Amino acid sequence: MKNIHSLLLFLAVLAVFGCTRQPCPATPERGYQGPRPKETAAPVPAPKEAAKSTDDQIIGEIEKNIAFLMKDWGTPGLAIAIVKDGKPFLVKGYGVTDVKTGKKVDKNTAFYLASVTKNFTATLVATSVERKELSFDDTVAKRLPGFKMADPYFTKHLTIRDALSHRTGLGFHTDDTFIGKIFRTNGTITLKNTLAHLRTLKPLFSFRQAYSYSNSLYFIMGEILKRATGKAYPALLAERVLNPLKMTRTHVGFDWIKPDANLAMPHDLDPEGKVGRIPLLRGDFGPGGSIFSTADDMSRYLLMHLAKGKGVVKNPKPLMEMQTPHIFTGPNMYGDPAWKAAGLGWEMFDLRGLKVLRYDGFLPGLLSAIFIVPSRNIGVAVMINRSVSLAHMITGLTAIDLLAGRPAAPYHQIFRGIFKPVPVRKERPEFAKDLKQYIGKYTTVQDRQTFHRTITVKDGKLYCDNYMSVFGPPSPMTRLFPMDTATFFSKNADLVVTFRAVKGKIEMVFNHGGKPVTFVRKK
C-alpha cells in the first residue's frame, strides 16, 4: 500500500511523477491550470544523440548502476524485469532477501507489490468491460448496493472510471486514519468496514477536479467484479491473467507463505537508526494491494501490456483505455512538455519526450514500480526490500533512457537532492529531562486534511508515532534524541522536533528535511 506508515518518501516521488494537491481539470484537453511548483532540481537537459550500444553494454551499465544504488541507498535486495521488442531483456535478482539469512535474491524471489496490485485490478476490470459484464462508466452505486458517500452528488455520479483514475476530488490519501486504526487493532479490512468508512468521507475538492488517491475505492472493486462475474478476486485474477500468462509464482494474499518460501523480507531503519529486518505487515488490501510476484512473472505481465493484452483479451480497446490520460496532475521536472496525468491503473508522465506509464507500490520495507513505454516497446519492473530507498525508481528511469538509445539523465543526483542522507547530529543527554511534559497527541491541518502525531515516553526515551500517516516521518515509530532545550532529532530521518508553549497551547514544530510544520497538542 502506498499510503501506510512512512510515506514522505512516496509523497516526494509523487511530487515528481504522480499527483498534486492542487485542483486539477477533469478533461485532458484543458491542460493543467494550477500553479507550477518551485524547482527542486535543475531541469534535466534534452537527450543527446549517443552511439548505439550493444545489449551487453546496456546490461553492463544497468548492473553497474544497480550495484552503486544498492550501496548508496542501503538496499539489501533488488529484482528487475526488463522486456524489449516483445521478449525478455534482463530478468535477474541482486543482493539478499534477508540480511539475517543472507539468502540470495533471484528471478523467482517473490516481492510484495503493494499498490502495483491496482494495475492488475484495473486490468481485470478491462477484461470485464471487454466481455460487457461491466462498463467503465457504470456508477459505483449501480454496481454495488449499499455504496454511499457523505456527499449525495458523489454517491450518485461516481463511476468505476473515476475510482480507477483517482479523479474523484475526495482529497489526498483520505484513507490514512481508517487504515491506521485497522493496523493498530490487528483488524481486517472488509467490505463492511470499508463501505462504512467511505460514508464518512466529505470531499475536499469539487467532483472530478482533483487527483485523490484512494485504497478504499480500489478495494471495493473486488466486490463489483464478483457481482459482475460470479467469482472472487483471487480466482478471477488467476483465471483471466495469471494462468493465461503462466505467472505461476504470483500469489494473492499471505496464505501461500511457508517458512522456506523464496520471499523478500522487509527492511528499514529502526528507531535507533540502524538497518534491519522489520515485520512483514500482513494487511490484506485485496484489489488495492495484496499481490506478491517475481521478476520472471512480471516480465510476462509487462509483455502482455505492451502487446495490447495479448493472451488476456481479444479486443484491446478497453485495456488501451487504461493508458489514456483521465486527469492531468501537474508538471514534472523532466523537460518540456512537462506533464503528468493519471489513467486507469496507470500514472503517466513525459520523460524527455517519451510518454512513460508507471505505477508503484509501498509497504514498510518493500517498494516496487512498473514502467512501460509503448512507443519504444520497453517495459521495466523493479522491486526492492528497503524503505526510504529510491533505488527502484532510479533503476527504472535509467534503464528506460539506456534502452531508448540515449545517455541516462542524472536521476540519482536529482533524487538525492530531494532525499539527502540522514545528517549526523550530536546527542546531548543533558537535555533529556522531564520528557513526560511532551507526551500527547498533536494535530495539524494541511491542505484541508488533519494529520496526527503521538508523542510517548518508554524506558526513559522519547518517541514520535506518525499515526500511519502519509505525512512523514519515514518510519511508523521514530525515537527522538535530545540535542538542545526542548529540541530533539531522529536518527532514521532528517527530522528535528522542537516543542514550545504559545498562548497557553503546546506546539510541536516538526521540521522534516528543512520544511517545518506546526502541530498543536490536543487537550
pLDDT at 10 over 70: no
pLDDT band at 471 (very low <50, low <70, confident <90, very high): low
Quick check: helix, strand or coil at residue 165?
helix
Give 22's DSSP letter. S
Residue 176: per-residue pLDDT: 75
pLDDT band at 492 (very low <50, low <70, confident <90, very high): confident
Contact 139, 156 (CB under 8 A): yes
Q: How many Å apart are CA 473 and CA 227, to the nearest integer?
A: 40
pLDDT at 42 over 50: no
Q: How many Å apart are CA 95 and CA 62, to the nearest integer?
A: 15
Cell of 20: 498534486
| Per-residue pLDDT reduced to its tens digit, 356-382 | 999 999 988 999 999 999 999 999 999
- The pLDDT of 51-59, averaged and rounded, is 87
What string of H, E and C letters represents the secondary structure of 375-431? HHCEEEEEEECCCCCCHHHHHHHHHHHHHCCCCCCCHHHHHHHHCCCCCCCCCCHHH
pLDDT band at 37 (very low <50, low <70, confident <90, very high): very low
Q: How many Å apart are CA 26 and CA 20, to the nearest integer?
A: 14
Average pLDDT, the chain: 87
| Per-residue pLDDT reduced to its tens digit, 63-81 | 999 999 999 999 999 999 9
| Per-residue pLDDT reduced to its tens digit, 331-340 | 876 666 678 9
Residue 26: per-residue pLDDT: 32
This prediction has a pTM of 0.86
DSSP bridge pairs for 378: 84, 373
DSSP bridge pairs for 456: 463
Q: How many Å apart are CA 163 and CA 327, to the nearest integer?
A: 12
pLDDT at 14 over 50: no
Instruction: Give Cα 174 to chain centroid, integer Å.
Output: 15
Q: How many Å apart are CA 94 and CA 306, to the nearest integer?
A: 25
Quick check: helix, strand or coil at residue 37?
coil
Closest CA to 276 of 287, 263, 265: 265
pLDDT at 499 over 80: yes
| Per-residue pLDDT reduced to its tens digit, 395-424 | 999 999 999 999 999 999 988 887 888 889
Give 440's DSSP letter. E
Contact 77, 263 (CB under 8 A): no
Quick check: helix, strand or coil at residue 182?
helix
Residue 155: per-residue pLDDT: 97
pLDDT band at 270 (very low <50, low <70, confident <90, very high): confident
Q: How many other C-beta atoms lie within 10 A of the C-beta of residue 477?
A: 17
Angle, alpha carbons 310-367-387 (nearest 5°): 175
Residue 473: per-residue pLDDT: 60
pLDDT at 345 over 70: yes
Segment of 44-53, 165-174, 257-266, 329-338 carrying the highest mean pLDDT: 257-266
Residue 264: per-residue pLDDT: 98
Residue 186: per-residue pLDDT: 73
Phi, psi torsion values for 480, nearest 5 degrees: -105, 115
Percent of the chain with pLDDT over 70: 87
Residue 4: per-residue pLDDT: 35
| Per-residue pLDDT reduced to its tens digit, 151-188 | 999 999 999 999 999 999 998 777 877 887 777 677 78
Cell of 380: 521495466
- The pLDDT of 10-30, averaged and rounded, is 33
pLDDT at 489 over 90: yes
pLDDT at 232 over 90: yes
Contact 294, 109 (CB under 8 A): yes
What string of H, E and C letters represents the secondary structure of 163-227? HHHCCCCCCCCCCHHHHHHHHHCCCCCCHHHHHHHHHHCCCCCCCCCCCCCCHHHHHCHHHHHHH
DSSP bridge pairs for 350: 355
DSSP bridge pairs for 368: 361, 383
pLDDT at 11 over 60: no
Cell of 48: 543527446
Residue 467: per-residue pLDDT: 57
Q: How many other C-beta atoms lie within 10 A of the C-beta of residue 178?
A: 19
Q: Which long-range contacts (CB under 8 A, 24 or more apart) does 249-252 make?
A: 249/108, 249/110, 249/293, 249/294, 249/296, 249/297, 250/110, 250/291, 250/292, 250/293, 250/294, 250/297, 251/110, 251/291, 251/292, 251/293, 252/290, 252/291, 252/292
Respond yes or no on whether the N-terminal peptide bond of residue 35 is cis (omega within 30° of 0): no
- The pLDDT of 475-493, averaged and rounded, is 89
Q: How many Å apart are CA 338 and CA 336, to the nearest integer?
A: 5
Contacts of 437 (CB under 8 A, 6+ apart): none
| Per-residue pLDDT reduced to its tens digit, 22-34 | 333 333 322 323 3
